[in-house]
Structure 1
Amino acid sequence: MHSSLLRAASLLLALSAAPLLLQAADAPAAPAAATASAKDAVFTTEQLDQMLASIALYPDPLLAQVLMAATYPGEVAEAAGWSKAHPDAKGDDAVKQVASQTWDPSVQALVAFPQVLATLGQDPVWVQRLGDAFLAQPDELMAGVQRLRRQAQAAGNLQSNQYQNVTVQNVTPPISAGTTKPADNTTIIIQPADPQVVYVPTYNPTTTYGTWPYPASPPVYYPPPPAYYPGQALVAGLAFGTGVAVVASLWGDCDWGNNDIDIDVNRYNNINGNNRITNNQNKWQHNTVHRDGVPYRDNRSRAQYGRQLDGAAQRDAYRGDNAQRAQARERARNSMDKAGIERPATSNREARNQVREAQSANVGNRMQGGADRPRAADRAQGNTREARQPGVNQRDNRASHARTAAGSARNNAFAGARSPSQTRVQADRGRASQISAQRPNTSRVAGHQISRPSGGGMRQRGGGRR
């Protein structure tokens, strides 16, 4: 349907611009691929560089973890809150502490680096845009990282030291349709000097990359948390705080030849014991379940990931619903069935049906009660029988009242929903009966015997009441 609408819109534009096209018939036509790429682009090169400037100089394994986690912006915000509440938790130990959380493993891995989560937590909108760009334009985004690294290296602010190893390799990345081949094919790789100790760099992107090529869109600068970078005054270049000892927390790495992320299966399984993967799952795949209902920005991502989780499932995931809660609800319903309790309605339609059934049951009970009402003679005989068998009748009456009360308890949730006036009359009648029953009698209070007048004169002549 979208394609047909696009074709119709293109046709209308073509008809309205026919005179202009005739005048420009001699002008060379633009390549169709470039036009399609410009139409499908989610972010421009300027926007990509602006959002990547703060993390492009991270070591490759840490950059890979940030890119994966950014596709789940809601969980990143929760992890940032957890890290702020546990400032002393870092490294593999912090990741093990959040093993029971429902976050994606890439988000759990970031709690090993509280200084990174402190930066990501400052701007959730930026995190979401970064994740959207990685899903929609992975080739352009990875090319942007390399472009910024070359600028920092040319400015003299990216080089090997005791914290990191910077190497240059000739890796030819894939070229998306409609994009031009970069002038420099060199790929800059940044790895920790010690694989088990990661130093997170902090820098001011407005100066580290030399002259920023987009004056109208300067990069956003997120100051480093002072607790992790004590005494660091950033003027130009990179500064490094305390190293984070990790053994298995960083299990991803940038694959610059394919512009995606490789997974070290052994390291992943060592830290994610409850969610192990096989050796064939060594390429990262986005998991829509952890998207938490956040919509995808572009049509292609919606088409690719949206069909894996329909709208109702997205809403349930956003509300925190999962298989464990569904099982708990089913156990509760089974317990209600065993106890003879009516199940609550699970939808508006079911609730309306229960109201209709309750009203029908009330009407039927009233009609049956009128048909079964005993006549005067029957009542007299019934009283005689009751007098003869008081114990049996009392038990029968109690059982009847119990059944009536049980029926009322089942129906009182919806009784009177459609007839409020009748409910009001019944309530007033009940209150009047209670007041009448509780009204004191002076004779009874005084303890006097109550005498009633006789109905005939012969009884009076007989000496009064016996």
Structure 2
Amino acid sequence: MRIPLFYAVSVALLLSGLSCLAQPLDASEPPNTADTAAVEAVAKDAVFTEEQLDQMLAPIALYPDPLLAQVLMATTYPGEVAEAVTWSKAHPDTKGDDAVKQVASQPWDPSVQALVAFPQVLATLGQDPVWVQRLGDAFLAQPDDVMGGVQRLRHQAQAAGNLQSNQYQNVTVQAVTAPAPTSAAPASPPASNHSTIIIQPADPQVVYVPSYNPTTTYGTWAYPASPPVYYPPPPAYYPGSALLAGLAFGAGVAIIGSLWGECDWDNNDIDIDVNRYNTINRNNQITNNQNKWQHNAVHRDGVPYRDSRSRERYGKQLNGASQREAYRGDNAQRAQAREKARGSMDKYGIERPATSNREARDRARAAQSGTSDSNRLQAGTERQKSSGMGQGTIRNTRERQELRNTAQVQQRGQADLSARQTAKKRPSANTGSARNNVFAGARAPSLASAQASRGRTSQASAQRPNVSRSAGNQISRPSNPPARQRGGRR
């Protein structure tokens, strides 16, 4: 079969076009697959979007840098923050370094203990525990994005005219220039400049916590579908501060060592002032090498981590029983008290409590088995006694039965004797009566029986002619009976 020339040429052109499309445009420069994979990994591991980060960071982004660092660290322990909120409500007049010293014995992370110095901050965090947990999860999973979100919001507030220096805080703008490209690198657009806004207390030993309405302080919100949440300030700390725009400041909090964290904007993490830390945290001293904050999973209190990377990184720090012990707040002091109590129990011969569910079950089974063995031994002993004393037991049983029968007979005899005595007395009692009651003795069976016997005896005496009655009177009969009763014939 011959194919027409027109169809052959068309098929050849189509195949050549497909082969051209399959080849890259520039074979000498293949695509950078590593960069593509990195971008995809970042997009996949992102826990919160930029919109969500701005929404949750808006209420605290304008805090002074030391206080902001303290809040970000503490929110990674949401359970302990809730306990600190409860403690602060119970001690509303306690603040500053004195409050931190009062909670030194609490099993909380030092970052959480530091927040009790600012009851107005804990009052704000206590309004929404879910927000606190999300904020801590974001800082653990996306620290760079969180720090970038804070700077983005600060620039918006500054552009709206609501962030500036005053008698409460110093606001400085630090310009940062991107490094210039090297000669070996390919040509690129001119380096772009960006700035970092830093907020510090005007007096390092007095901190004023700002209060503001995020919906107006940042100007026009970039995400109308996801506006920031406004947590009204506690009236006790901000009297008469109905905010429409801008920042309001309440009473300052005098501190010396309560705030020991600082935002490191270059590395997007938190630095620790070791001297200030050791001044206030007497029970948890650190060295100069520990000047970078690290999350401690022991104080997580069992709250699960949101992303897989955090679970893999921090979940391995505590495994199995050790993790459960830490979640219960176990520490060296409790362990020492527990050992002391166990020693006292051993001294007085008291059994120690079970340390696990399995041990408790084993003890219960052993106790049940011991009881069964004891019951079996007791039953065997009783059977031996029964077999050895069988005949004697039977004899004893018969003797007891005979004694009971004898006692019953004696009781019946005494009852009959009493009935007869009553019967003898009753006629004399009824002598003056016109006639005897027909129902007399109906309720006394023994009396009725005695009377019936006396009646039968009287009847028998009457039927025997030559027998005297019991009363002693003889019956007189005629000596010559009538003629018709004589025997013989006429």
Aligned-pair CA distance for 1:93 = 1.1
Q: Distance in 1 between matches of 2:178 and 2:273?
A: 21
> Following superposition of structure 1 onto structure 2, how do residues 10-409 of structure 1 map, counting pairs within 5 Å?
31-171=36-176, 185-366=194-375, 368=377
Residue by residue over 1:189-228, the C-alpha shift from the partner in whole angstroms, topping out at 9 and shown as x without a partner, is 0000110111111111111111111111101111111111
Q: Deviations over 1:335-384 (max 9, x none)?
A: 333322333333343334334433443454455556767879999xxxxx
Cα gap change, 1:101/1:250 in structure 2, threshold over 3 Å: closer, same or farther? same
User: Shift in Å at residue 98 of structure 1?
Assistant: 1.1
SS at the partner of 2:262? strand
When the two chains are superposed, the root-mean-square deviation of aligned CA atoms in Å is: 3.1
Task: Tell whether the 8 Å contact from 1:172 to 1:257 is kept in structure 2 after alignment.
Answer: no
2:47 and 2:387 mapped to 1: Cα distance? 90
Partner of 1:386: none
Contact 2:175–2:193 (Cα < 8 Å) also in 1 = no
Change (3 A) 1:265 1:355: closer
Structure 2 counterpart SS, 1:185: strand
Structure 1 residues 366 and 307 mapped into 2: Cα distance closer, same or farther (>3 Å)?
A: same
Letter in 2 for 1:120: L
**Distance apart, 1:138 and its partner CA:** 0.6
* Structure-2 change in CA distance of 1:348 and 1:285 (3 Å): closer
CA distance in 1, matches of 2:192, 2:315: 36
Please tell me whether Structure 1 or Structure 2 has the larger radius of gyration of its CA atoms. Answer: 2
Letter in 1 for 2:89: K
AA aligned opposite 2:127: Q
Check the 8 A contact 1:292/1:314 in 2, yes or no.
Answer: no
- Residue 275 of structure 1 and its aligned partner are, at CA, apart by 1.1
Q: How far apart, in 1, do the equivalents of 2:364 and 2:121 lie?
A: 55
Q: Is the 8 A contact 1:198 1:244 kept in 2?
A: yes
Q: What TM-score does the superposition give when structure 1 sets the normalisation length?
A: 0.70
Instruction: Kindly indicate whether the alpha-carbon contact (under 8 Å) linking 1:173 and 1:256 is maintained by their aligned counterparts in 2.
Output: no
CA shift digits 1:270-298 (9 cap, x unpaired): 11111111111111111111111111111
**CA deviation profile, 1:45-99 (whole Å, cap 9, x unmatched):** 1111111001101000000000010111111111111111111111111111111
CA shift in 2, pair 1:25/1:75, >3 Å: farther
Q: Cα distance, 1:172 vs. partner?
A: 6.7
Which residue number corresponds to residue 437 of structure 1? none
Deviation at 1:100, TM superposition (A): 1.3
Which residue does the alignment assign to 2:414?
A: none
Partners of 2:210 and 2:177 in 1: how far apart? 27
Q: What's the TM-score, normalizing by structure 2?
A: 0.67
Query: Paired residues, what number?
Result: 358
CA offsets, 1:311-350, max 9 Å, x none? 4433333333334333333333333333223333333433
Q: Which aligned runs of 4 or more in structure 1 are off by greater than 6 angstroms?
A: 23-30, 370-379, 450-454
Kindly, what percent of the aligned residue pairs are identical? 77
1:171–1:256: 8 Å Cα contact kept in structure 2?
no
Kindly tell me: are residues 101 and 264 of structure 1, through their superposed partners in 2, closer, same or farther at Cα, counting changes over 3 Å?
A: same
Unaligned runs of 5+ in 1: 1-22, 175-181, 380-449, 455-466
Give distance in 2, aligned partners of 1:110 and 1:334.
39
Q: Distance in 1 between matches of 2:178 and 2:107?
A: 35
In structure 1, distance between residues paired with 2:177 and 2:70 = 23
Partner of 1:31, secondary structure, is: helix
Greater Cα shift, 296-305 or 325-334: 325-334
- 8 A contact 1:254–1:261 mirrored in 2: yes
1:402-421 alignment, distance < 5 Å: none
Larger displacement relative to structure 2 (365-374 or 77-86): 365-374
Change (3 A) 1:46 1:376: closer
Q: CA deviation at 1:307?
A: 0.2
